[in-house]
């Protein structure tokens, strides 16, 4: 067995990150690059993808960038093919794009429903299918998708978003069952309340922002780099026996029944 430091080392690995322009995707690309992987950064916004690649290179890593829209099957297929042609192989593949239209089910239009499902769930399916074919052919690889705590805990206005995230976790299990024997690992991360562009609008409502923070046992929001560390773990040989799993990164949000109360502090005094 390799030493523990070696298990986390990604030197020589080739990685593809879709959604690398911002938030968790950007942090994940940077984490993989810092640990030694050569990273191809893809995003709907090519300028942001290039910015992430530049940051990786400035830190001494190797990176490139391109545009890709996770909501379009032809673009995801093209991205997988071009990434393999450029990198030679794809050892690690991460997909993070997602949207939420916060509305009650009774107020949702079919067009809005289709938009959320098409990007969140079908986008993940497309990525798994196209990159998964490459990894099966190679006989190895680590695929990582982005689920959410909303796959298990919900609130009004998040039913459709939560349904897509729950479906991603099940897709991970099913796909792992299909390709695990071919040397491919398929897992997901399930972040809690993380400071990203997707959650930025909540900051406009300080009372909601603070309520969410207090719902965690740590009493704060998470950072994108804290999620990226989990992505790096799943990408590495340290997670060689982790397959078909969804890793919670939520500071205890799903572990407790509501926000911590003053009783806890009294009991510990």
Catalytic residue from among 161, 209, 212, 241: 161
| Cα 211 to Cα 32, 202, 241, 253, 263, distances in angstroms | 33, 11, 37, 12, 18
Residue 24 token pair: 């968790």
- How far the first Cα of the chain sits from its last, in Å, is 45
| Residue 214 CB burial class (10 angstroms; 0-12, 13-18, ≥19) | middle
| Cα 202 to Cα 68, 159, 193, 211, distances in angstroms | 27, 18, 10, 11
If you compute the radius of gyration of the chain from its CA atoms, what whole number of angstroms results? Answer: 18
Based on the residue annotation, tell me whether 161 is a catalytic residue of this protein: yes
Residue 164 token pair: 């897509």
| Residues assigned a catalytic role | 161
């Amino acid at each position: 067995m390799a030493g523990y430091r070696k298990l986390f080392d990604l030197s020589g690995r080739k990685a593809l990150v879709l959604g690398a322009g911002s938030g968790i995707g950007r942090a994940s690309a940077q984490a993989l690059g810092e640990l030694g992987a050569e990273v191809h950064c893809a995003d709907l916004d090519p300028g942001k993808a290039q910015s992430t690649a530049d940051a990786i290179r400035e830190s001494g890593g190797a990176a490139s960038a391109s545009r890709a829209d996770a909501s379009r099957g032809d673009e995801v297929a093209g991205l997988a093919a071009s990434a393999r042609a450029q990198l030679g192989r794809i050892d690690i593949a991460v997909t993070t794009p997602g949207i939420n239209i916060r509305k009650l089910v009774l107020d949702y239009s079919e067009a809005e429903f289709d938009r959320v499902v098409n990007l969140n769930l079908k986008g993940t399916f497309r990525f798994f299918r196209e990159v998964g074919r490459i990894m099966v052919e190679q006989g190895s690889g680590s695929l990582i998708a982005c689920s959410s705590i909303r796959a298990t805990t919900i609130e009004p206005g998040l039913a459709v978003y939560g349904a897509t995230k729950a479906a991603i976790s099940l897709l991970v299990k099913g796909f792992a069952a299909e390709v695990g024997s071919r040397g491919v690992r398929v897992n997901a991360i399930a972040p809690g309340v993380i400071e990203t562009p997707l959650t930025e609008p909540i900051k406009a409502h300080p009372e909601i922002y603070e309520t969410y923070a207090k719902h965690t046992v740590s009493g704060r929001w998470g950072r994108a780099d804290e999620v990226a560390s989990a992505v790096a773990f799943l990408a590495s040989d340290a997670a060689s026996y982790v397959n078909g799993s969804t890793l919670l990164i939520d500071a205890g949000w799903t572990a407790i029944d509501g926000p911590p109360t003053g009783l806890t502090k009294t009991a510990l005094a």
